[in-house]
Structure 1
Amino acid sequence: MAPSIEAQKSKKRKRIPGGKGDAVDASKLKKKPKQPIKAPSSRAPPSGKPFEKKSEIPAKNAQLSKREMRQLAKERTEARKKKRKPHYTLEQELASLWEKMRRRNIAKDERAKLVTEALQKMKGKVPEIASSHVSSRVLQTCVKYCSEGERDAVYEELRPHFLTLSCNTYAVHLVTKMLENGHVVYSLFNVLAASKTQLTSLLSLLHGNVASLLRHTVGSVVVEQAYQIGNAAQKREILMELYSTEFQLFKDLANMKETRLVDIISKLGLKKLSVLRHMTSVLQPILEKGIVDHSIIHKALVEYLSIADKLSAEDVVKQLSGSLLVRMIHTKDGSRIGLLCVKHGGAKERKKILKGMKGHIGKIAHDHYGSLVLLSILSTVDDTKLVTKVVIRELQPILKELVLNKTEKEVHHGDDKPAKCADNDSGNNEDSKDDVKLAAIEENESVEDIDLVEGGKKDPFVRRQELLIKSGLAETLIDTCIEMAEELLMSNFGKEVLYEVATGGVDGILRPSLDEKLTTLYETVAALVAQPKSDASEHILENFHSSRTLRKLVLDCSTFALVLWEKALEGKAETWTQGHSSKVISAFVESSDPKVRELTKSELQPLLDSGVLKIHEAKAVEK
């Protein structure tokens, strides 16, 4: 008969951990009673005093108070840090000095003593100190407040390690951190290089290393800083290293007046394909890593596109379309690239650009160069539903703060003549005359020649109706003008927005669907004009900006002229025949609308005959 299950269980063998593998009967095993943990015979020293010998450190399971355990853990941490960091004690001393020297209410003499003491402690160890998370800040403060001689000593010690420090996360701040001294802002780059010789010496250290540093997230910041502070020749020398290996090997080749890559290739007889291949190998890793925030990279990309073939140019456009482009359009060259991406990109690329701008439209609209890219989108992209969802919806809540902004003025009537706005904004800059073209896509095309109005396949008037009227932007804009009429009329930039809205836009796009709103705007302006003169504040007719805007409205919009005369000026014209206000009154006589002239003739003709009211001589001869 088979043994029972209980009998089988009792006969099971159990292997003893750590044994030689011999099996024993589990029932014969006896558990040993637990022994109480005893504290070591030598008690720990009183709390607050360090354990100087290993024998004095209590066991891990010793019965210690919470305070003693915290003290023990602190001392063990300190011991580990001392082993790991060779200058740990020095860093602690420097941190103590830094807490004193960085205070605002400290005397200059006392701070100078603390700085000198800190620099003495750091002598011979400056490169290591500059690379430390804590002590690098101490060194920055010392360089900011130290004497010229002390600064020269720091410079001499850092110079051999310049390239290594440029790629260090903490030391890079010592090279690029901006310091404010009175009303002049200096970069630490300039502070360290007290003389032109030292600055030239630092810039010479970058020679041959520009491309490799630009591929480094931290090192690229140093190259950008050097590019910004250098003069024209130094900027050209740094930039040319990205064009060809010849410029890295032979420094004298960079000493020329030509700035455009096309002219440099022509003068030196370089092979265009070789330059293109080298620039591709330099720029491609930079784009893959997303290091596109620096102006030197924007300039290099612009020059690259000026010689690129169709396939290479399309690759760059596709790669930049999206969130990368948003980080570039704040500079002049970056906005050029943005214009080219919008114009030459396909529907997919434009969609990516718009999605990348989502959440940043307000900031872009405020930016001088970014607003030009926004203009091109409003004038080019046929997908008005997506533009309304991304752009218009973000502009509507902030219209009140944007209508007084210079760049927003261009965005409001950018659908009419955006290319003209682009020319006006960049006309003062010499580099704006440079040809920036995608050679294989369109020959001899510059940014200034890009036609932003006819960029899409959709009819421009239909596009404008969908963006302005159907989206509700126009109605919101008129309401904003009604609410801020006086402030806009007296503003140098806001007056242009009010003028465009009051005249109904180009081709009368706001009429007839918003005629009632426009009439309310006219009555609001007329109510401001009807207010009596006051010594406490300037009247709207006597203001320089508002008087000229009102004059233009009277001449160009007869409906507004009739409302203004009937609601505000009828019977009061003689009061406003002197100063800036006389320009508004004379505009009624000069109006091309016979209804306006006929309505005002009975009151204004006697003023003209008596010489109280005068009009421009050219206008008088014409009449």
Structure 2
Amino acid sequence: MGIQTTTATKEANAQKKALRDERRSHKPNAELIYPAKKLWEKLRLKELPKPERQQVMKEMMELITGKVQEIIFKHDMSRIIQSCLKHGNEAQRNVIAGELVGHYLTLSKSMYGRFIVVKILHYCQKYREAIIKEFYGKVRQLIKHKEASTIIEDAYSTYANAAQRAGLIQEFYGPEFRIFKVEDKKTLSDILAQNPTKKDNIMKHLMETLKGCMEKGTVEFSIVHRGLLEYFEHADAKGIQEMLDVMKEQAVEILHTKEGAQVAMLCLLHASPKDRKAMLKTMKPFVVKICKEEYGHMVMLRMFDVVDDTVLMSKAILAEIVKEMEDIAKDKYGRRVILYLLAGRSPKYISPQSIELLAKGDLVRANTSKKDAAVRSSELLNYISPSLISLIATKTRALTSEPLACQVVFETMLHATGDRQPAVDALLALAAENPSEATSETPHVLMSMPTDRLYKTLVQSDYKAPLAEPSLHFAKALLTKISPYLGFFAQQSGSSPFIVLALLENPETAEETKKALQAKGSAKGSITIQKELEKVVKGKPDNEFKAVRLILETLAK
């Protein structure tokens, strides 16, 4: 009985397979698709040796060459062609790309075909121009298309040259630019300078295109950000307000590009208090992320410049910064947000280009913001200062071991309002540790980068640039803490002697430091620290122990 059942099952399976094969044979390109699928199963194996992969690609190309156009819109074959583009050599990729010339526009609109276009843009430099030319005349429609918009964005942001990018964005300006490209004009400013009478018509079509992108959910693309920036740069007050009405709640979606961040900055600059409040509300959940973005952090600086409602700013924005203040202080871009609250537009922390960008808005700010800039900055600083001081007091070692966070520590000590003594005490406690007990994992703060520079600068700030109000008198307190180890620090080949030198140069600690360096120890036969330093440099090349030599020169005066 069992044998009969097994035989019957086998026969049934054989019949099913025969029927399946029969059905497949009637499908278009069946003789190509199913062998291609078998080859693809091998081709996509990660462990496949290179010689075998090359052989599989050779067989695959023999199978599909001349027939690529017939199969690309099928889901399974689209993935096979993508694999061929990924694993093929340059010649094989170009064969596939060449067969698809004239079909890239259609492919870009296809749910599956668009991935082939992405791969060809990436792998086939020879065909990038041909692909982009197929988009000309249709860019306004494509940028609002669910599938094709991603291809337009990839082409614009990653693969197009300057002239091609200009050709793509020009179609935002109106129908005539779909047919006639202004090849020698790269920006809207160039076009309007040559044809000022066309401004109203261009701005009308630009507005329509941009609104369409926002409605279709393609506002996150950099080509749209370029269009938005050009619109804000050339629109009149009425046009700006019209765009603000639709942009204020979407500005948070465009902060990841340079142009997008600049658009958000312009939105904040021109917005009414009510619109600014709406923008802050949308940005609140993403404050920490924005602070850490290369371009987005500039939006935070503009926000500090123009929002008069500092109570709202404190609750919606600064409160979020305080929650993650340590991470923000250590971040390349995030620390600039905190430093802006402390030191304003200091060229030590903000590039000249960024300062210029911020300064461009000052004239407009005078009309759109009522509160005095100094009062606004003071109110924001008053809010965040206690949290900064507390952070330094409780996370001293973690902050001072990070070069970027050290900048935040230094500026907090100079500019924070309120009682800074807890932070001062924490810094002094680290400095007072016995240097002989330090390890390579936890070096003494006066003998390791970047904390040694922090302490030296704090000592110098008491007299070179006395900005702290009231004065910290940091040098005097530091000398008291490290006096048992003053000779040790002075004799090192690293940077700790520069801290001793700073104490020797500070008028508040000069006499006491000099006396300590020239005093003999209590032990019989002991010599002064100064004599010890003379032994250290004796017979050494002039380029060694530079700080020690400077200490000796200062003592000799």
Using the size of structure 1 for normalisation, the TM-score is 0.72
Where 1:510 maps in the other structure, the secondary structure is coil
Q: Which moved more, 1:383-392 or 1:554-563?
A: 383-392
Q: Which of residues 258, 262, 283 in structure 2 aligns to 1:336? A: 262
Where 2:330 maps in the other structure, the secondary structure is coil
C-alpha separation in 2, matches of 1:125 and 1:536: 66
Q: Which of residues 474, 480, 484 in structure 2 aligns to 1:560? A: 474
Q: Which of residues 496, 502, 505 in structure 2 aligns to 1:581? A: 496
Q: Which of residues 155, 164, 169 in structure 2 aligns to 1:226? A: 155
Tell me the amino acid that sits aligned with residue 238 of structure 1.
Answer: L
Q: Which of residues 262, 273, 296 in structure 2 aligns to 1:370? A: 296
Deviation at residue 423 of structure 1 after TM alignment: 9.4
CA shift in 2, pair 1:316/1:540, >3 Å: same
Q: Which residue of 2 aligns with 1:502?
A: 413
Q: Which of residues 452, 472, 479 in structure 2 aligns to 1:547? A: 452
Q: 2:236 aligned with 1:306, yes or no?
A: no
Q: Which residue of 2 aligns with 1:174?
A: 116
Tell me the amino acid that sits aligned with residue 54 of structure 2.
Answer: A
Q: Which residue of 2 aligns with 1:33?
A: none
CA shift in 2, pair 1:101/1:51, >3 Å: closer
Q: Residue 542 of structure 1 contacts residue 581 of structure 1 at CA under 8 Å; is this kept in 2?
A: yes
Where 1:424 maps in the other structure, the secondary structure is coil
Deviation at residue 231 of structure 1 after TM alignment: 2.1
Q: Which residue of 1 aligns with 2:336?
A: 410
C-alpha separation in 2, matches of 1:364 and 1:130: 41
C-alpha separation in 1, matches of 2:290 and 2:530: 50
Q: Which residue of 2 aligns with 1:602?
A: 515
Tell me the amino acid that sits aligned with residue 191 of structure 1.
Answer: Y
CA shift in 2, pair 1:281/1:330, >3 Å: same
Q: Residue 460 of structure 2 contacts residue 502 of structure 2 at CA under 8 Å; is this kept in 1?
A: yes
Q: Which of residues 57, 71, 80 in structure 2 aligns to 1:138? A: 80
Q: Which residue of 1 aligns with 2:104?
A: 162
Post-superposition Cα deviations, 1:448-474, rounded to whole Å, max 9, x if no partner, equal 42249987444656655665555xx54
Q: Which residue of 2 aligns with 1:239?
A: 169
Tell me the amino acid that sits aligned with residue 525 of structure 1.
Answer: L
Q: Which of residues 199, 217, 220 in structure 2 aligns to 1:290? A: 217
Q: Residue 376 of structure 1 contacts residue 418 of structure 1 at CA under 8 Å; is this kept in 2?
A: no
Tell me the amino acid that sits aligned with residue 500 of structure 2.
Answer: I
Deviation at residue 614 of structure 1 after TM alignment: 1.9
Tell me the amino acid that sits aligned with residue 282 of structure 1.
Answer: T
Q: 2:206 aligned with 1:279, yes or no?
A: yes
Deviation at residue 570 of structure 1 after TM alignment: 5.0
Q: Which residue of 1 aligns with 2:541?
A: none
C-alpha separation in 2, matches of 1:204 and 1:106: 37
Q: 2:447 aligned with 1:532, yes or no?
A: no
Q: Which residue of 2 aligns with 1:401?
A: 327
Q: Which of residues 39, 53, 56 in structure 2 aligns to 1:97? A: 39
CA shift in 2, pair 1:381/1:111, >3 Å: same
Post-superposition Cα deviations, 1:566-612, rounded to whole Å, max 9, x if no partner, equal 11245514642554222211222333xx5433443422578789985
Tell me the amino acid that sits aligned with residue 554 of structure 1.
Answer: V
Q: Residue 522 of structure 1 contacts residue 564 of structure 1 at CA under 8 Å; is this kept in 2?
A: no
CA shift in 2, pair 1:215/1:526, >3 Å: same
Q: Which residue of 1 aligns with 2:550?
A: 614
Post-superposition Cα deviations, 1:266-292, rounded to whole Å, max 9, x if no partner, equal 224552112212222322211222211
Where 1:614 maps in the other structure, the secondary structure is helix
Q: Which residue of 2 aligns with 1:15?
A: none
Post-superposition Cα deviations, 1:282-317, rounded to whole Å, max 9, x if no partner, equal 222112222111211111111111211211111112
C-alpha separation in 1, matches of 2:85 and 2:186: 36
C-alpha separation in 2, matches of 1:458 and 1:493: 32
Q: 2:357 aligned with 1:450, yes or no?
A: no
C-alpha separation in 1, matches of 2:407 and 2:68: 58
Deviation at residue 339 of structure 1 after TM alignment: 0.7
Post-superposition Cα deviations, 1:134-165, rounded to whole Å, max 9, x if no partner, equal 33222111111113332222112211211011
C-alpha separation in 1, matches of 2:401 and 2:407: 10
Structure holding more helix per residue: 2
Tell me the amino acid that sits aligned with residue 347 of structure 1.
Answer: P
Where 2:254 maps in the other structure, the secondary structure is coil
Deviation at residue 480 of structure 1 after TM alignment: 3.5
Q: Which residue of 2 aligns with 1:204?
A: 133
Where 1:368 maps in the other structure, the secondary structure is coil
Post-superposition Cα deviations, 1:207-236, rounded to whole Å, max 9, x if no partner, equal 222222112132122222222222222222
C-alpha separation in 1, matches of 2:272 and 2:23: 57
Post-superposition Cα deviations, 1:109-131, rounded to whole Å, max 9, x if no partner, equal 22223333334444454345433
C-alpha separation in 2, matches of 1:420 and 1:244: 43
Deviation at residue 371 of structure 1 after TM alignment: 0.8
Tell me the amino acid that sits aligned with residue 531 of structure 1.
Answer: P
Q: Residue 366 of structure 1 contacts residue 405 of structure 1 at CA under 8 Å; is this kept in 2?
A: yes
Identical-pair percentage: 28
CA shift in 2, pair 1:261/1:81, >3 Å: farther
Instruction: Mark the runs of 5 or more structure 2 residues left unpaired by the alignment.
Output: 463-471, 520-528, 535-547
Where 2:509 maps in the other structure, the secondary structure is helix
Post-superposition Cα deviations, 1:462-495, rounded to whole Å, max 9, x if no partner, equal 655665555xx54443344345434433433121
C-alpha separation in 2, matches of 1:290 and 1:394: 28
Post-superposition Cα deviations, 1:27-67, rounded to whole Å, max 9, x if no partner, equal xxxxxxxxxxxxxxxx9x944556999xxxxxxxxxxxxxx
C-alpha separation in 2, matches of 1:542 and 1:283: 57
Whose radius of gyration is greater, 1 or 2? 1
Q: Residue 341 of structure 2 contacts residue 381 of structure 2 at CA under 8 Å; is this kept in 1?
A: no
* CA RMSD, 1 decimal: 3.9
Q: How many residues align?
A: 514
CA shift in 2, pair 1:539/1:387, >3 Å: same
Tell me the amino acid that sits aligned with residue 150 of structure 2.
Answer: V
Q: Residue 261 of structure 2 contacts residue 295 of structure 2 at CA under 8 Å; is this kept in 1?
A: yes
Deviation at residue 379 of structure 1 after TM alignment: 3.8
Post-superposition Cα deviations, 1:167-225, rounded to whole Å, max 9, x if no partner, equal 11222122225xxxxxxxxxx404134x3xx3322222222222221121321222222
Q: Which residue of 1 aligns with 2:469?
A: none
Q: Which residue of 2 aligns with 1:3?
A: none
Q: Which residue of 2 aligns with 1:262?
A: 189
Deviation at residue 418 of structure 1 after TM alignment: 4.8
Q: Residue 586 of structure 1 contacts residue 613 of structure 1 at CA under 8 Å; is this kept in 2?
A: no
Q: Residue 405 of structure 1 contacts residue 493 of structure 1 at CA under 8 Å; is this kept in 2?
A: yes
CA shift in 2, pair 1:46/1:552, >3 Å: same
C-alpha separation in 2, matches of 1:313 and 1:261: 16
C-alpha separation in 2, matches of 1:484 and 1:450: 37
Tell me the amino acid that sits aligned with residue 133 of structure 2.
Answer: S
Q: Which residue of 1 aligns with 2:544?
A: none
Off by >6 Å, runs of 4+ in structure 1 = 78-85, 452-455, 605-611
Using the size of structure 2 for normalisation, the TM-score is 0.80
